[in-house]
Structure 1
Amino acid sequence: MTFEDTPASAGTERPGDTGAMAGRTVARVGYGAMQLDRLRGDRDAAVALLRHAFDRGVDHVDTAQFYGDGFVNDVIRQALRPGDDVLVVSKVGATSDPGAPIPLRLAQRPHELRAETEANLAALGVERIEVMNLRRVDAGITIPVPDDQVVDLDDQLAEMIALRDEGKIGAIGLSSVTLDVLRRALPAGVVCVQNVHSLVARDDEDVLRCCTDEQIAWVPYFPLGGALPGLAKVTDEPAVLAAAQHLGCTPAQVALAWLLHRAPNVLLIPGTADPGHLDANLAAGSIVLDEETLAALDAIPARPLAAPLG
């Protein structure tokens, strides 16, 4: 696999410059759509937020059918217009469980991966999803895994490859995986990896290095830490606060800029339901960190992802 350039879409400059995924050139700062569900009571505002992102040069949107029990995908479908050159990336491996304390449950079996793919296609109103991530449970924040959801990677990859061969998905990504799982999956043609990664969560540096070596897009989620009670927050770190003051930006922007400085294959998908916050996230793509600032940030101690989910 190589990061071959494809013609950039005309118009607004892309936030964070450009990177690559699945043979396409995309903005290095995209948009994670999960928080659109916070605008469930105002669909017009949700659509307008996405349109604002597209107008600002965002051309990479991350979603899932289990985000808001389909609401988020429905908003994306409504927001996209003919001619929009937006890479929509979704994921399978879980499904909606409305009413549960955590409103999703694992769906790791091959037939469940297929069913969730079909649900994504129907909700988005497309015949193919360009990149589909297989969300595993090998790494990151731990969750209870029922016995019937312990599924061999090879069985899952066989189903994902079948979906790709049928044209229902364009390329395969992985999420929440270890280095061993990534290496086992490489022959399937992995185009991106989504793992928990931030200044305070660096358990998977080896996975990042492998992705960089293999020219696979590295798409960190929970980039600010603190996703759950008990987990460290990047924006609480004194070195981050000092860097923000020095640069005249917010601590969150420092955290995002640090990730972009890690490697050229890093693509960000920060999420928000607020237009001003969206603009601030995109502006982080223009922040340059000097060597002294990078050294101070790199010295922040990482913490293990010890908080269980569920």
Structure 2
Amino acid sequence: MAGVTWRLGDLTVNRIGFGAMRLPQEGTAFDPRARPRSRAQAVEVLRKAIELGVNHVDTAAFYFSATRSANELINSALAPYPEDLVIVTKVGPGRTPQGEWLPLARPGQLRGQVEENLRQLGRDHLDVVNLRVSGLDDVTDHFAALARLREQGLVRHLGLSNVKPHHLDQAQRVAPVVCVQNSYGLGHHPEQDDFLGVCGERGVAFVPFFALAGANQEAGTSTEDDEVTAIAEGHGVSAAQVRLAWTLARGPHVLVIPGTGDPDHLRQNVEAGGLVLTPEELTRLDAVHLGGS
């Protein structure tokens, strides 16, 4: 795989990873009407990702459809796991077996969520666990609970998801933070630019989810504006590849975890790591990002 690596603590990952959120179902994630994805297709995509050099897989126990679980699919497809594979999961939210969302877990409930991820993935420890925050102003107690699990050897490294800068400050006073996962992409939440920079200054990986989302879309395929399309055509690549390349160009600490159930899209996503945009193209895309062109 072309491109540079980054370290999550003592774990080295390629900067283009794979997000497992869409593996259990076709269409929109968490849509109860979505059709479960073919098990054979999901397994094929996961194994192809490893063949293409992906060694960073992002998942969660709450990624499931009526008949498919992302963690179980990862276990079935990839175990015994390659030595260099880093599996990142997240805790905090939960869902009932019927798919309904539960209130954010209390600090004392996080161990159970960690153990559920361990069971589903067939691991004796988790490489990285992100605390996903929802409506929580102070993460100190939750992060301290995860830090205790880290001290006990159940978790190797800790991160944060869906957070604001003050959450990072709070967490770093408790234990080391190796990554921050926030919704971000070209034209998507440009207010995150400063926080992305803060993470870089502190040596914390910034891992956008929805990196292919446009300014007016939360997820899925993005509106391909004229600038993105023109640059893509000039390189003979897809608009999605341009968006991923721009995101990676935001800093050496920026990782991406695009998810797909399509082997061809997977290959294109990985190949985006080798796409080099010129300074002039980056300037044009930066203008798009900030709302101008």
What's the TM-score once normalised by structure 1's chain length?
0.83
Tell me how far 1:302 sits from its aligned partner.
Answer: 3.9
Which range is displaced more, 225-234 or 155-164? 225-234
Matched residue type, 1:38:
Q
Which range is displaced more, 183-192 or 221-230? 221-230
Name the counterpart of 2:119. Answer: 122
List runs of 5+ in structure 1 lacking aligned partners: 1-13, 138-144, 304-310
Distance 1:233 1:295, change over 3 A: farther
Distance 1:230 1:210, change over 3 A: closer
Identity %: 41
Name the counterpart of 2:31. Answer: none
Matched residue type, 2:229:
L
Which range is displaced more, 173-182 or 38-47? 38-47
Counting matched residue pairs gives 277
Separation of aligned partners in 2, 1:82 and 1:233: 33
Q: Does 2:52 match 1:56?
A: yes
Name the counterpart of 1:36. Answer: 23
Matched residue type, 1:48:
E
Partner deviation per Cα, 1:190-220 (whole Å, 9 max, x = no partner): 0000001111121212211111011111110
The partner residue of 2:159 within 139, 152, 173 is 173
The partner residue of 1:186 within 144, 169, 172 is 172
Name the counterpart of 1:212. Answer: 200
Distance 1:233 1:63, change over 3 A: closer
Query: Does structure 2 conserve the Cα–Cα contact (< 8 Å) formed by 1:16 and 1:282?
Result: no
Distance 1:235 1:254, change over 3 A: farther
Name the counterpart of 2:110. Answer: 113
The secondary structure found in structure 1 opposite 2:87 is strand
Matched residue type, 2:119:
A
Query: Does structure 1 conserve the Cα–Cα contact (< 8 Å) formed by 2:125 and 2:154?
Result: yes
Name the counterpart of 1:10. Answer: none
The partner residue of 1:104 within 101, 105, 124 is 101
Name the counterpart of 1:244. Answer: 232
- Aligned 1:1-310 pairs, distance under 5 A: 14-38=1-25, 40-68=36-64, 71-82=69-80, 84=82, 85-99=84-98, 103-137=100-134, 145=135, 150=136, 152-187=138-173, 188-200=175-187, 201-226=189-214, 234-302=222-290
Which range is displaced more, 126-135 or 89-98? 89-98
List runs of 5+ in structure 2 lacking aligned partners: 27-35
Separation of aligned partners in 2, 1:158 and 1:301: 36
Query: Does structure 1 conserve the Cα–Cα contact (< 8 Å) formed by 2:210 and 2:218?
Result: no
The secondary structure found in structure 1 opposite 2:209 is coil
Tell me how far 1:38 sits from its aligned partner.
Answer: 2.0
Q: Which segments of structure 1 move beyond 6 Å, counting only runs of 4 or more?
A: 230-233
Query: Does structure 2 conserve the Cα–Cα contact (< 8 Å) formed by 1:179 and 1:206?
Result: no
Separation of aligned partners in 1, 2:14 and 2:52: 10
Separation of aligned partners in 1, 2:81 and 2:58: 19
Partner deviation per Cα, 1:23-53 (whole Å, 9 max, x = no partner): 2221111100111112645222211211111
Distance 1:26 1:106, change over 3 A: same
CA RMSD after TM alignment: 2.2
Tell me how far 1:158 sits from its aligned partner.
Answer: 1.2
Query: Does structure 1 conserve the Cα–Cα contact (< 8 Å) formed by 2:210 and 2:220?
Result: no
Distance 1:127 1:230, change over 3 A: closer
Query: Does structure 2 conserve the Cα–Cα contact (< 8 Å) formed by 1:113 and 1:159?
Result: yes
The secondary structure found in structure 2 opposite 1:203 is helix
Query: Does structure 2 conserve the Cα–Cα contact (< 8 Å) formed by 1:171 and 1:191?
Result: yes
Query: Does structure 2 conserve the Cα–Cα contact (< 8 Å) formed by 1:60 and 1:88?
Result: yes
Distance 1:209 1:262, change over 3 A: same
Query: Does structure 2 conserve the Cα–Cα contact (< 8 Å) formed by 1:33 and 1:62?
Result: yes
Tell me how far 1:234 sits from its aligned partner.
Answer: 4.7
